[in-house]
A and B are shown apart, each in its own frame.
Chain A
Amino acid sequence: MAKSLPLPVLAFLLFLSFAPGTAKAQSPESKKAVQIPLAKALKDVGKAYDTKFVYEKSLLEGKTTSYELGEIKGKKIEDVLKSILYPKGLLFLYIKQNYYTIVSKDRLEPEYKTADGGSSNTPLQNISTLYSTSSQTKPLASQNIKEHLVNGQVKNNNGEPIEGVSIVIERSSIGTMTNKNGRYSINNVIDNDVLVFSFVGFETQKIPVEGRASIDVVLHETNTGLNEVVVIGYGTQKKINLTGAVDVVSGDELQNRPAPTVSQLMQGVSPNLNIQMSNHGGEPGSASSWNLRGLGSIAGSSTPLILVDGVESTVDDLDPENIESISVLKDASASAIYGSRAPFGVVLITTKRGTKNKGTKIQYNDNFSWASPIRFPRMTDALTWAVATNQSFANSRLAPYYPDEQIQRIKDYAAGTLKAEYDVNNAPTSVWKGRAIGNANYDWPSLMLRKNSLSQKHNISLTGGDNNTQYYVSAGFYDQGGLYTYGNDSYKRYNILANLNSKVNNWLSFDFGTKYAQTQTNYPMGIVGTTRDYNFTSIFQFGPMMPKYNANGTLQNPILVAMKGSGRDVTANNDLWLRIGTTIEPVKGWKTNVTYNYNIGSTSNNKNPIPIPIELGTGQMANVGFANSGSVEGMGNWNYYIFNGFSSYEKTINGHFFKIMAGYEQELSNSKNLSGSRMNLISDKVPSINSATGASTLGSSADHWATEAVFGRINYNFKEKYLLEFSGRYNGSSRFAPDSRWGFFPSVSAGYNISKESFWQPVKSYVNNLKIRASYGSLGNQNVANYLYLSTVPVSSNLNYIIDNVRPIYAQVPAIISSTLTWETVTTTNLGLDAMFLDNRLGLTFDLYDRKTTNMFGPSQNLPAVLGTGAPYENNATLGTKGFELSLAWQDQISTNVSYNVKLNLGNNKTTILKYNNVNGQIDNWYVGKTYGDVWGLVSDGLIQTDGEKMADQSYYYSKWGPGDMKYKDLNGDGKINPGNRTLTDHGDLKIIANTQPKYNVGLSAGVNWRGFSINMFWQGVLKRDFVPSIYANAFYGFSGQGGAQTEMYKNGTMLDYWRPSNETNIFGPNTDAYFPKPYANTEYQKNIQTQSRFVVNAAYMRLKNLQVGYTIPTRLAKKAAMSNARVYASVENLLTITKLPKTLDPETAFASDYNYGGLNNLAFIYPLARRVSFGLNITF
């Protein structure tokens, strides 16, 4: 930073085109060794090298040169310029690619004269800054048409004067520039003129004079990308000098989207960063799982390390408004510095800080949104449902589930001739019976969820600071309403963030931060004995014929009654982070940072089970709640600290840049939980353990772990052309046995900025920048459970059995220990390329990687079940993931008023098992060569149409087969359909039929700005993925075959497309060319829905995650309301989904809910995603 202070580069920003008359004044016919004006010579040189020069007109006036154009062939531009300019006492300074500024020799400060006689290659130093405001003098009272003088000062974001800024009167193109103190004066200005302030590397500003005589301006730097400073592990680095695979997402890209959480915002933003919903689906406050570059470990976790301001914390507790930038460190070289904490990459989130000398700025943002469920199944009419169900019962040769008498009632009710929703003479006699004997016609899903659920988001921030102290303070509130019609559900989040940076003197500064989040979720408890998620399953188990009301008008549907009347499940989390850090720089270039972060948090959960009376159709009362009221409470608290200190020294000697960093870190985590319950409340209104009188339970848990590490990094580059980096970490974790606790994880990487080479000049105007990178390194994975190396006897309380009138504590058998367990080692090779084309309008980043996890945790062996437990983990497997990431961005300004941008992210990866202890080659386990996500299954061969049709013997699956049943292909030609031994050598008629991993993950954003208007859209998708529904997925098959009457018929579903004989006389008629086989009401159905090729569904999708239209109110209007900036916008989340899935399935919730992929419920229903229409406002004062 010190280096960039009085920036001595005197760059004059007068492009040749801004110097009218300069070229015209010279004779274009000048030939041969005659003296030609210097300006003309420069113009020719400029043409030849596609280079522009900036200078003060007067500097060249009267100067001539005899240099000939013909002489420059084959020479470097620097040499040409030297020979033209040096003799005239002029110097040239490199500003950026293809831009030079020409100055008088004596205007350079001595220390910046370089050794080779004057040419300085020192680039302009960009400083990452945040905000600027213009301080301006008041306009004069009356406008004056008379030309007058305007003067003032131009500074950068840090309040430092900038020399060489061009100031041009827009009307006349007359200009001047600032002097060493950033001061300027310009004559011939009239009152309604507009002054254009421009300087290379800074954003151009147009300022109306409005009669003022003095105008001070602050210019802010442009992010041309290359000079951008990127946050990396324990430090920052210029993007151009990066050798690792790092993707940067700026806060701007995330702004103004009403998505509630950082996870939802980040989905699709960075290639190969896959964020998927949890098995709670779209429920307010539900978490997401993050994965970077695919599966890394099959036993341990393979989520990336997510650090907020350097510490690991819950990402969804963060208010997205507070994010300054996000760096995604993907390869080993970028994340090796985190050692065993970050085997699968790091996501570094930096929060906003105050800016220097900006005065105080207040910003207020809000957003109101209305959510409605998308792709949530809707039930068919009751008759369709009943007839289909009965057909499955008939196929099973069982009596009809809905007798004729009831079918008649269903018809009469639908025709309006019957008003009662059930037979009053045979009223439902139990809570659940209505679904079997009712005759109503309701679409329960649409009654369960509402269509317009309001959410709101507010954030106010205060930022500012002077040269020594800067602050950023922000408070946010988010209130997400749930979709339940009965029994509200909600998620609330309160955020406070304060960052303070203070410089005590030249060598000492402090950094303080506080971050507090409170989140609250409030849900109705589930029906007794289940979780709330089961409400979805239950509601779908009702047929449309389930009565909603009793004859006397009271509510009969037990789920609605239970959701409406149930006790609440309320969770509140408090998370407070405190940071104090100091930076000491006693000697220039030697910096030491010491930071201590302390986190204290607590969580509390209260549930109050209560009886929920419900009236049966018979008038009898029943209970869909608990037997007794009570209070179930859980409290947890944790504290965590992370301490680190690191010291770095950097120096440049003759273009050789060195930086050495070494550091130490330790972290310690403690957590404790206490839970208890007591039944029989004195008053239902006061649910607490204290005010209950019945039996009680009590339990607790506690946990702690620690890590310790030393780490270091060496950077070297030569003139930013050749880049080299080593880093490593020696890491210890309490999770492993003392002998296998420590591991060393090194990495090396290199980069080559080819475009900085002189031989690149000829193509430089097309390929403005090109860098190739390579890295190799290894990291550890300590993301396993604690204490796996210790044999412990698990002790639990509340045995689920009463002995001697109590539920005693009980102990269980210890797991077989893994005494030698140590790190998984994750080795990544990465090749990357960064390029900019066509005046930096087109940017390309491409990375190829090969990641191997060796010593991976795997069961010691595939052991016979007589062992009686799972085999313990050992470090004995190997897994490899290969993939690529491509990021392509185009931005352009068509005219001063219209600009647009398009950005495409594409990532793909494939994971293969390279070593695994599965000697028998069992295909249901991992085996060498298995691609993660592969599914083995039978190959379908159409439906049987006639009795006795020629087909293989399928008796392995069922004894009887007939028309409408599935035929399978006899792949091994033995005349029998079976799965063999389910081994690689004997897998019968099975083959790999699908891969369920998401492939080709895409993010696509595009935006257009026109004057104050902007339109932006963001698409996210998966271009290739197979969905293999589990046999429980009724939203797909319609018939469960699980016994009972779990038939489910949905509008827009494919389930009615099942086989019916050619002589079918029911309301559906024949359907021999069906997609689904003949349904059965019992487990016989499973013979037809064995995992097979026919029921592999294409789950690829593209989803318009966000579409937004915004308008920035013109500054002059905003100012009238004392605002410096004001923007309004309207936005829609999840507006459009393109997929081939049946409309009853959502490409995201299908996987989150399905049993095969970790879903909670058998029937694969889940809280749906929401379409969210919102309106928002950003105001800055």
Chain B
Amino acid sequence: MSAAFFSILFLLNSCQKELLNKIPLDQVSSNVFFLQPSDMQIYMNQFYNDAVFPVQYGSITANPYDGSQDDFNSDNEVNANQIDPRLKGDRTVQDAGNWDFSNVRKINYFFDNYKKCTAPFASYQQYVGEAHFFRALIYFKLLKRFGDVPWITTELQTNSEQLYETRTARNIVTDHILLELDSAAMYLTDNRNGGASRIYKGMALALQTRVALYEGTWEKYHAGDPFAVANAQPEKYFKKVVEAASAMMTSGHFQIYNTGNPSSDYNGLFTLRDYTSTTEVLFWKKFSTALGINNQRNYKLEYPFGSSLTKGLADSYLCTDGKPISVSPLFQGYMNITEEMKNRDPRFNQTIFAPANAWKISGNDVQTWNDVYSKLNTASNYYALTGYVQLKGYDPLLIYHSTNFEEDPVIHFRYAEVLLNFAEAKAELGTITQSDIDNSIGLLRARVGMPSITLGSIPNDPDWHFPDLSPIVNEIRRERRVELATEGFRWDDIARWAAADELIVGKRPKGFKGSQIAGTAFPNDANGFLDPFQTALPNGYQFKINRDYLDPIPVDQIVLNDKLTQNPGW
């Protein structure tokens, strides 16, 4: 019978051959892709997303599970409903995040294939530059979480030997990342093009300062601990920071936003409705309800909803004489927040609410924050464990408030960070000059009308977190905490400085004087400061300094590849 089948089949097959040849109708065959520059453009488009771009400001709108996106995972912020498990020391190897290399694969596919294009290189070098930039960004994220990670530059196949290789040492990975960014800077356009467009050269340089500073300080401050790097060369990286930052600083393209209003320009930057002509903002995310990409920042900041900032952050703000509160005669004490904010760095009151701040403005009708302040800690939407409630990024104009449909733009990268990176690298190198300070931190201080740092006459602060380090490093770290507060940098800074032993372990976040508000939901400490985690953290945070700086590698991955080693302490 089958003979009959076959003979009939032979007949059919000869005349019906086309019937079974069905190629995709709405997908592009990969062998004809990348033949033209526009293919590269649409391929690179996929990397413009919230996962690849850690949203550095606007934590409240972004995925709260990604620790890189707000200050909740640091000593700057607390939440009524949860305590960060890493700070608490409660993480288990079970909680390991994904050992996710899907973005690595995506970007490598580009490099393996884009050379098929026969058009002149100049017509697509922008996209090659973007690819280098994204490869750096993707790997930097892996580096921060896991330390050593396999450095892979081609699309792996199921039989690739690289699947079973060891992790690449973190400094080698960093070197690769920095090289990627060199290439990116070389190919990318110099044109910022409004900042809500495509990646450009300034972004590559800015990221380079961030990566190099991260690795440089990591190698320097983790020396001797389980996370130490063999053949550490921190200075190499600090020099790279200086080189990249200087290129930006001398380009003339970027400027600190300053309209001459010290009392409002700092927060004013974060509440602008558009950053097209604001060059301090290197890159930003645009929202449009018409296009279905929405934000809800003002709505979320309208009430504390359990979120608040810490006394540690509040105490970092200098007095207007440039001196810390521990020594400045201008400090008015903690009696209430209004008093506390008197004579302080204007960024204090542009980051944290005081009763006199405008809360809701509708036409001529202005409500002040006092309405909230008087009810703090009385009901759960007024829960602010520490009393310090974030103002930064909040726009009291009610027309910009909506549950799901705000168009407040979000800043991804800003120039201020580059200047801070520059100053810190110079200080770490020990080569910082007054003019370096004036050209970096000086500009940030000028915006808020604060005196700059004067090298050689930095007032001694008995409360410096790092008394073993030089005064300038201490002050630059303070400046960074103040300027970048709530923007999601704090945990990364603590990690690279290996500063958890000074800042986290055994510490308990405190708030302002409990006596100034009616709400009594949370206890005070012996000095009258709100001490919300008195029972939850009787001995303070139990962060494990020999373990918690890196994430564990998922156990199943170690089973699949026995050359993978687990991170220290796990």
Report A's interface with B, CB cutoff 8 A.
396-403, 405-406, 423, 426, 428-431, 433, 436-437, 528-529, 622-624, 626-628, 662, 664, 666, 668, 679-680, 694-695, 697, 700-708, 710-712, 714, 726, 728, 730, 732-734, 738, 741-742, 744, 746, 786-787, 790-795, 799-814, 816, 860-869, 871-872, 920, 922, 924, 956-959, 981-983, 1043-1045, 1081-1084
> What is the bound-complex CA distance between A805 and B197, given in angstroms?
8
Within 8 A of A (CB), among B532-557: 532-533, 535-536, 542, 554-557
Q: Please determine whether B559 and A981 come into contact, CB atoms closer than 8 angstroms.
A: yes
Q: Please determine whether B16 and A708 come into contact, CB atoms closer than 8 angstroms.
A: yes
Task: Determine if B287 is an interface residue (Cβ-Cβ < 8 Å).
Answer: yes
> What is the bound-complex CA distance between A397 and B102, given in angstroms?
39
Q: Please determine whether B105 and A1082 come into contact, CB atoms closer than 8 angstroms.
A: no
> What is the bound-complex CA distance between A704 and B27, given in angstroms?
12
In the complex, the chain A residue whose C-beta lies closest to that of B379 is A437
> What is the bound-complex CA distance between A893 and B546, given in angstroms?
83
Please pick, from B21, B29, B94, B560, the residue contacting A864 in the complex, using a CB distance under 8 A.
B560
Within 8 A of A (CB), among B361-382: 375, 378-382
Q: Please determine whether B559 and A922 come into contact, CB atoms closer than 8 angstroms.
A: yes
Say how far A800's CB is from chain B's closest CB, in angstroms. Answer: 6
Q: Please determine whether A866 and B163 come into contact, CB atoms closer than 8 angstroms.
A: yes
Q: Please determine whether A430 and B381 come into contact, CB atoms closer than 8 angstroms.
A: yes
Q: Please determine whether A1082 and B81 come into contact, CB atoms closer than 8 angstroms.
A: yes
What are the 7 tightest A-B residue pairs by CB atom distance, in nearest-first order? A868-B105, A627-B405, A397-B536, A702-B25, A810-B45, A627-B289, A792-B27
Please pick, from B8, B39, B302, the residue contacting A664 in the complex, using a CB distance under 8 A.
B8
Chain A residues with Cβ below 8 Å from B289 are: 627-628, 679
Q: Please determine whether B26 and A814 come into contact, CB atoms closer than 8 angstroms.
A: no
Q: Please determine whether A809 and B28 come into contact, CB atoms closer than 8 angstroms.
A: no
State whether A799 and B378 are in contact (beta carbons under 8 Å apart), knowing that A679-B290, A730-B6 are contacts in the complex: no
Say how far B340's CB is from chain A's closest CB, in angstroms. Answer: 23
> What is the bound-complex CA distance between A732 and B16, given in angstroms?
11
Within 8 A of A (CB), among B261-319: 285-294, 299, 302-303
Q: Please determine whether A793 and B28 come into contact, CB atoms closer than 8 angstroms.
A: yes
> What is the bound-complex CA distance between A733 and B93, given in angstroms?
47
- Give the dominant DSSP class at A's interface: loop
Chain A residues with Cβ below 8 Å from B5 are: 710-712, 728, 730, 744
Please pick, from B27, B39, B291, B522, the residue contacting A807 in the complex, using a CB distance under 8 A.
B291
Which one of B152-160, B213-221, B224-232 is at the A interface?
B152-160
Say how far A699's CB is from chain B's closest CB, in angstroms. Answer: 10
Task: Determine if B123 is an interface residue (Cβ-Cβ < 8 Å).
Answer: no
Q: Please determine whether A406 and B379 come into contact, CB atoms closer than 8 angstroms.
A: yes
Q: Please determine whether B403 and A431 come into contact, CB atoms closer than 8 angstroms.
A: yes
Chain A residues with Cβ below 8 Å from B48 are: 799, 801, 803
Please pick, from A733, A801, A1081, the residue contacting B293 in the complex, using a CB distance under 8 A.
A801
Task: Determine if B14 is an interface residue (Cβ-Cβ < 8 Å).
Answer: no
Chain A residues with Cβ below 8 Å from B405 are: 623, 626-627
Q: Please determine whether A426 and B12 come into contact, CB atoms closer than 8 angstroms.
A: no
Chain A residues with Cβ below 8 Å from B109 are: 813-814
Say how far B26's CB is from chain A's closest CB, in angstroms. Answer: 5
In the complex, the chain A residue whose C-beta lies closest to that of B150 is A866
> What is the bound-complex CA distance between A858 and B202, given in angstroms?
46
Extra contacts, 13 of them, besides A398-B81, A866-B99, A956-B93 (Cβ < 8 A), are: A400-B521, A426-B375, A628-B289, A679-B289, A704-B22, A707-B20, A708-B16, A708-B20, A791-B29, A803-B198, A863-B158, A867-B105, A868-B108
In the complex, the chain A residue whose C-beta lies closest to that of B193 is A804
Q: Please determine whether B403 and A866 come into contact, CB atoms closer than 8 angstroms.
A: no
> What is the bound-complex CA distance between A146 and B42, given in angstroms?
100
Please pick, from B9, B45, B287, B303, the residue contacting A710 in the complex, using a CB distance under 8 A.
B9
Please pick, from B21, B22, B559, the residue contacting A983 in the complex, using a CB distance under 8 A.
B559
Task: Determine if B254 is an interface residue (Cβ-Cβ < 8 Å).
Answer: no
Chain B residues with Cβ below 8 Å from A706 are: 19-20, 22
Q: Please determine whether B31 and A867 come into contact, CB atoms closer than 8 angstroms.
A: no
Within 8 A of A (CB), among B149-208: 150, 152, 155-158, 160, 162-164, 193, 196-198
Report B's interface with A, CB cutoff 8 A.
1-2, 4-6, 8-9, 12, 16, 19-31, 33, 39, 42-43, 45-46, 48-50, 80-83, 85, 89-90, 92-94, 98-106, 108-109, 150, 152, 155-158, 160, 162-164, 193, 196-198, 285-294, 299, 302-303, 375, 378-383, 385, 402-405, 521-522, 532-533, 535-536, 542, 554-561, 564
Q: Please determine whether B290 and A705 come into contact, CB atoms closer than 8 angstroms.
A: no
10 CB < 8 A contacts A-B: A426-B379, A431-B403, A679-B292, A710-B5, A734-B20, A787-B24, A800-B50, A864-B564, A1043-B82, A1084-B90
Q: Please determine whether A860 and B158 come into contact, CB atoms closer than 8 angstroms.
A: yes
> What is the bound-complex CA distance between A245 and B49, given in angstroms?
54
Q: Please determine whether B158 and A1045 come into contact, CB atoms closer than 8 angstroms.
A: no
In the complex, the chain A residue whose C-beta lies closest to that of B108 is A868
Please pick, from B12, B82, B99, B291, the residue contacting A708 in the complex, using a CB distance under 8 A.
B12
> What is the bound-complex CA distance between A585 and B155, given in angstroms?
62
Q: Please determine whether B20 and A790 come into contact, CB atoms closer than 8 angstroms.
A: no
Quick one: which of B158, B196, B198 has the most chain A CB within 10 A? Answer: B158
Say how far B196's CB is from chain A's closest CB, in angstroms. Answer: 7
> What is the bound-complex CA distance between A800 and B380, given in angstroms?
34
Quick one: which of A403, A628, A793, A800 has the most chain B CB within 10 A? Answer: A793
> What is the bound-complex CA distance between A956 and B93, given in angstroms?
7
Please pick, from A787, A802, A868, the residue contacting B106 in the complex, using a CB distance under 8 A.
A868
> What is the bound-complex CA distance between A396 and B29, given in angstroms?
55
Q: Please determine whether B403 and A622 come into contact, CB atoms closer than 8 angstroms.
A: yes
Q: Please determine whether A792 and B28 come into contact, CB atoms closer than 8 angstroms.
A: yes
Q: Please determine whether B380 and A808 come into contact, CB atoms closer than 8 angstroms.
A: no
Chain B residues with Cβ below 8 Å from A528 are: 403-404
In the complex, the chain A residue whose C-beta lies closest to that of B377 is A399
> What is the bound-complex CA distance between A624 and B299, given in angstroms?
13
Chain B residues with Cβ below 8 Å from A627 are: 289, 294, 402, 404-405
Q: Please determine whether A704 and B20 come into contact, CB atoms closer than 8 angstroms.
A: no
State whether A816 and B158 are in contact (beta carbons under 8 Å apart), knowing that A398-B80, A701-B26, A787-B27 are contacts in the complex: yes
Say how far B387's CB is from chain A's closest CB, in angstroms. Answer: 14
Quick one: which of A623, A624, A814, A1044 has the most chain B CB within 10 A? Answer: A814
Chain A residues with Cβ below 8 Å from B379 are: 403, 405-406, 423, 426, 436-437
Please pick, from A406, A436, A695, A959, the residue contacting B90 in the complex, using a CB distance under 8 A.
A959
Q: Please determine whether B152 and A866 come into contact, CB atoms closer than 8 angstroms.
A: yes
State whether A712 and B290 are in contact (beta carbons under 8 Å apart), knowing that A865-B99, A981-B559 are contacts in the complex: no
Q: Please determine whether B26 and A702 come into contact, CB atoms closer than 8 angstroms.
A: yes
Q: Please determine whether B33 and A816 come into contact, CB atoms closer than 8 angstroms.
A: no
In the complex, the chain B residue whose C-beta lies closest to that of A712 is B1
Q: Please determine whether A1082 and B82 come into contact, CB atoms closer than 8 angstroms.
A: yes
Chain B residues with Cβ below 8 Å from A746 are: 2
State whether A865 and B100 are in contact (beta carbons under 8 Å apart), knowing that A706-B19, A733-B20, A790-B24 are contacts in the complex: yes
State whether A399 and B532 are in contact (beta carbons under 8 Å apart), knowing that A1043-B81, A1083-B85 are contacts in the complex: yes
Please pick, from A423, A426, A668, A864, the residue contacting B164 in the complex, using a CB distance under 8 A.
A864
Chain A residues with Cβ below 8 Å from B12 are: 664, 708, 710
Chain B residues with Cβ below 8 Å from A920 are: 559-560
Say how far A4's CB is from chain B's closest CB, in angstroms. Answer: 30
Q: Please determine whether B196 and A812 come into contact, CB atoms closer than 8 angstroms.
A: no
Chain A residues with Cβ below 8 Å from B98 are: 865
Q: Please determine whether A426 and B378 come into contact, CB atoms closer than 8 angstroms.
A: yes
Q: Please determine whether B1 and A814 come into contact, CB atoms closer than 8 angstroms.
A: no
Q: Please determine whether B22 and A429 come into contact, CB atoms closer than 8 angstroms.
A: no
Chain A residues with Cβ below 8 Å from B302 are: 429-430
> What is the bound-complex CA distance between A712 and B321, given in angstroms?
98
Q: Please determine whether B30 and A814 come into contact, CB atoms closer than 8 angstroms.
A: yes
> What is the bound-complex CA distance between A924 and B554, given in angstroms?
13
> What is the bound-complex CA distance between A867 and B108, given in angstroms?
11
> What is the bound-complex CA distance between A869 and B100, given in angstroms?
9
In the complex, the chain B residue whose C-beta lies closest to that of A400 is B521
> What is the bound-complex CA distance between A529 and B61, given in angstroms?
14
Chain B residues with Cβ below 8 Å from A666 are: 16, 19
In the complex, the chain A residue whose C-beta lies closest to that of B30 is A791
In the complex, the chain A residue whose C-beta lies closest to that of B100 is A865
